[in-house]
Chain A
Amino acid sequence: MIELLEPLIPALRRYARSLLRDRTAADDLVQDCLERAIAHWSQRRVGGDTRSWVFTILHNLAMTELKRRAPRSSDISVESAENWLSTPPSQEDGLHHRALLHALAALPEDQRAVILLVSIEDLSYADAAKVLDVPIGTVMSRLSRAREKLLKSIKDMPAEPAERPHLRRVK
């Protein structure tokens, strides 16, 4: 059990933190997830993939947590500080990366989860569908919509931020 769970922990932390954008809350969530995985170890499907099973537990905990804090999750600007990242965006790309993370944060939770599971955690489309408990077709359409939205919000950004006045365009 420990041999199977231990290698997953770094990725679980990454997924939780990318979803919650909060170091402490994310690690608390991973701890809760590991406790549940250990407590319910016998209930995982025999021959099933441990990684998608544990990610499912974590994902469900994260969604509960995000719903719980729903009132302030709409206020994304509060989360604009990137101190939850391992390495803060560099000076030159800082604004661009901030805008990308901002756009990611602005995605609906289910689309953000798909992007993270597929693009960052390298889950197969089938495993992502298992974690999210939706058909693969839903995973694909969420992925399409999420990428389209991210691309659009990046395109709306100034290309050379340093040359521009520090004014946000307001639509």
Chain B
Amino acid sequence: MTSRPITEDDLNAFVDQRLDPARLAEVAAYLEAHPDVAERVNGYAAQRGELRALLLPISDEPVPAALNVRHIAEGHGRRSRLPWWAAAAAAVLLIGLGGAGGWTMRGWSGPPLQGIASLGQEAADNYAVYGPDHVRPVELRAGAGTELADWISTRLGRQIAAPDLEASGYRFMGGRVVATPHGPAALFMYDNDRGTRLVMLSRPMAVDHDVPMQPLSQAAASGFSWAAKGMGYSLVGPADAQSLLHPIADEVRRQIGNDA
């Protein structure tokens, strides 16, 4: 009845249920006639079934956020290409350094960012939080009358008018009062037709009352900060928009200079 000799490959394919019907019948007949081989093959099949029962449920677990392929695709190109273990090693090293540093520098809180550098950091932080926000990017929308201006002047003790950036292609969306380590600040937000957003943060300066315009020093956002007559201003946008932001920052500074 058997046309070809039964091979180990056939027995494995039998266990994995990958035989065509004709060959399956031949292998089944062979196993019928050879109980010792049948016992071994049954053992293979039982073992396969048990492994499946143990391991298949792993794929039913919810996929963690870190493996969201959409996020990974968005982050592609922006993230460093360090292998995960190198990043892990770097993290361990940094934690170690942080621990060691924290101990040796106990009692000393370290130099907080001051002046114009701190201002740029605050603007970048707020851009990182509110820039991608699609629920409530601004607390008070443009067109809400004088509500925003009144709120800002109440909290900051100064009048700050939102610059008009229509000529640069950016519409005023609105704004809010935000917290900084140096007290309340006004945050204005703008967007263009492509959905690119910019923010301008402004607050009174305790130090650095008058500072010429300078670029932000961090990688996650780009922008320019300056201070004039005791008020600090920082215009921040996407990381790759440095050259685009410079003329807009110049325009903002020009408008504020005219107002003052």
Seen from chain A, the residues whose Cβ lies within 8 Å of a Cβ on chain B are 1-2, 5-6, 9-11, 13-14, 17-18, 27-32, 34-35, 38-39, 65, 68, 85-87, 89, 96-97, 100-101, 104, 115-116, 118-120, 124-125, 140-141, 143-144, 147, 150-151, 154-155
Contact = CB atoms under 8 A, between A and B. Distances in A.
Contact of B84 (A1, A32, A154): A32
Nearest to B59: A10
10 contacts: A2-B70, A9-B69, A10-B60, A13-B67, A14-B58, A18-B55, A97-B50, A101-B54, A144-B9, A154-B43
Contact of B51 (A2, A5, A119): A119
B85 A65 contact: yes
A31 B47 contact: no
Nearest to B48: A119
Contacts of B63: 9-10, 13
Nearest to A26: B58
Contacts of A87: 57
Contacts, number: 110
Could you say which interface size class chain B belongs to? 35 or more
Main secondary structure of the interface of A (DSSP, over half): helix
A59 to B, nearest CB: 16
B12 A144 contact: yes
B67 A147 contact: no
Main secondary structure of the interface of B (DSSP, over half): helix
B186 to A, nearest CB: 39
A14 B9 contact: no
B84 A28 contact: yes
Contact of A35 (B13, B48, B59, B76): B76
